[in-house]
């Protein structure tokens, strides 16, 4: 009787978790295993109708992004990379930033007086620093770069696969690439120096790119090698350029908006 009750409780707990999360743990395991050992075959299977066996690409992407964000936050890599980035930026642009801040300070004092003008200048500087820290973080770059990368990927490979198939490939590989680099975060608490931080921030994205290239070569096997490598390399370079332009635009737009906001309010 107790065994039946225990089995019933386990079954009920499993059903509850499945309803809350939206997929079965068996499907999650098969998805992780497939994308690790046979990624191209797994993505093709999902694209061509085997939908019940694997977690959907968007669900898997959101899950991996959440896990990555949590572990990244807990490991402190985001805070350390922000601190290192701010230190490099302050050493590189300290003179120009000081002139910029003093310029805003003079304008605000002229309009609002010494006390409120100084307060507004400090608040503007802190708000801009928060936005820049987010844009410099791993999660910020992922969020900012995702729309443009997805659009560019579709433009380069729309002749060979349907939009949905390109989308599934992109979401699966991006999610799995970030998931496979998570073990690198275990290095940070052990080797907490600058070298460890730089290794993680450089090796992680490099590993994700190599995984992406490997899977793409086998997923788009109908493309001849020369055409494939031309497209994929051009896509990667275009994505990096688009990300740099987009982040720079967001930075300038943020600076202009905050300058206007603290001038009038």
Q: What is the pLDDT of residue 87?
A: 54
Per-residue pLDDT at 15? 52
61 part of a folded domain: no
Please tell me the distance from the alpha carbon of residue 44 to that of residue 38, in angstroms, as a whole number: 10
Flag whether 191 is in a domain.
Answer: yes
> Please, what is the Cα angle at 205 between 201 and 208, to 5 degrees?
145
Question: How many helices, marked H, and strands, marked E, lie in the chain?
Answer: 11, 0
95 lies in some domain: no
Q: Tell whether 147 is covered by a domain.
A: yes
Q: Is 144 helix (H, G, I), strand (E, B) or coil?
A: helix
> What is the C-alpha to C-alpha distance for residues 156 and 101, in angstroms, rounded to an integer?
43
Q: What is the CA radius of gyration of the chain?
A: 24
Cα–Cα distance between 132 and 226 in angstroms, integer?
39
Structural domain count, the chain: 1
Domain annotation covers residue 123: yes
Question: What are the Cα distances from residue 182, in Å, to 10, 68, 264?
Answer: 30, 7, 45
What does the pLDDT read at residue 32? Answer: 94
Q: Tokens in use for 121? A: 């200048």
Structural domain includes residue 10: no
Cα–Cα distance between 155 and 166 in angstroms, integer?
Answer: 10
**CA-closest candidate to residue 156, choices 219, 238, 251, 91:** 238
pLDDT at 251: 81
Rounded CA separation 167/150 (Å)? 8
Question: 157 near 166, Cβ under 8 Å?
Answer: yes
Distance CA 263, CA 257 (A): 10
**CA-based nearest residue to 146, from 228, 250, 243:** 243
Determine the length of the chain: 265
Give CA 38 to chain center in angstroms.
23
Return the biggest CA–CA distance within the chain: 82
- Report how far residue 113's alpha carbon sits from residue 119's, in angstroms, rounded to the nearest whole number: 10
Alpha-carbon distance of 57 to 117, in angstroms, equals 50
Contact 185, 75 (CB under 8 A): yes
Dist CA 1 CA 240 (whole Å): 62
Instruction: Give me the tens of pLDDT residue by residue for the chain, a chain 265 residues long.
Output: 455 555 545 555 555 445 445 557 888 999 999 999 999 999 999 998 888 889 999 999 989 888 877 777 666 655 655 555 555 545 444 445 656 667 777 888 888 888 888 888 888 888 887 777 777 666 677 777 888 888 999 999 999 999 999 999 999 999 998 888 877 766 655 555 556 556 666 777 788 889 999 999 999 999 999 999 999 999 999 988 988 888 888 888 888 898 888 888 7
Report yes or no on 80 lying in a domain: no
Domain range for 217 is 100-264
Tokens in use for 25?
């743990």
Q: Does 203 map to a domain?
A: yes
Tokens of 203: 């090796």
Give the pLDDT confidence score for residue 228 in this predicted structure: 94
At residue 194, the pLDDT reads 59
**Rounded-to-integer distance, Cα 182 and Cα 211, Å:** 14
């Amino acid at each position: 009787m107790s065994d039946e009750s225990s089995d019933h409780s386990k079954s009920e707990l499993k059903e509850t978790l499945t309803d809350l999360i939206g997929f079965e743990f068996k499907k999650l395991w098969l998805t992780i295993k497939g994308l690790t050992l046979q990624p191209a075959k797994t993505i093709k299977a999902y694209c061509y109708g085997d939908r019940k066996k694997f977690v959907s690409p968007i669900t898997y992407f959101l899950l991996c992004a959440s896990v990555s964000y949590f572990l990244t936050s807990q490991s402190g890599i985001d805070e350390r990379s922000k601190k290192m980035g701010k230190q490099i930026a302050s050493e590189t642009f300290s003179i120009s930033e000081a002139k910029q801040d003093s310029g805003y300070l003079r304008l605000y004092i002229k309009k609002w007086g010494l006390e409120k003008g100084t307060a507004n200048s400090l608040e503007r500087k802190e708000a801009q620093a928060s936005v820049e820290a987010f844009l410099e973080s791993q999660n910020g770059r992922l969020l900012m770069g995702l729309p443009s990368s997805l659009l560019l990927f579709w433009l380069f490979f729309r002749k060979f696969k349907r939009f949905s198939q390109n989308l599934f490939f992109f979401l699966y590989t991006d999610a799995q690439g970030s998931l496979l680099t998570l073990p690198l975060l275990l290095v940070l608490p052990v080797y907490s120096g600058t070298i460890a931080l730089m290794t993680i921030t450089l090796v992680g994205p490099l590993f994700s790119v190599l995984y992406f290239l490997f899977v793409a070569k086998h997923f788009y096997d109908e493309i001849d090698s020369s055409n494939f490598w031309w497209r994929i390399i051009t896509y990667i370079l275009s994505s990096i350029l688009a990300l740099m332009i987009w982040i720079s635009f967001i930075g300038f737009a943020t600076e202009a908006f905050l300058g206007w906001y603290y001038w009038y309010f």
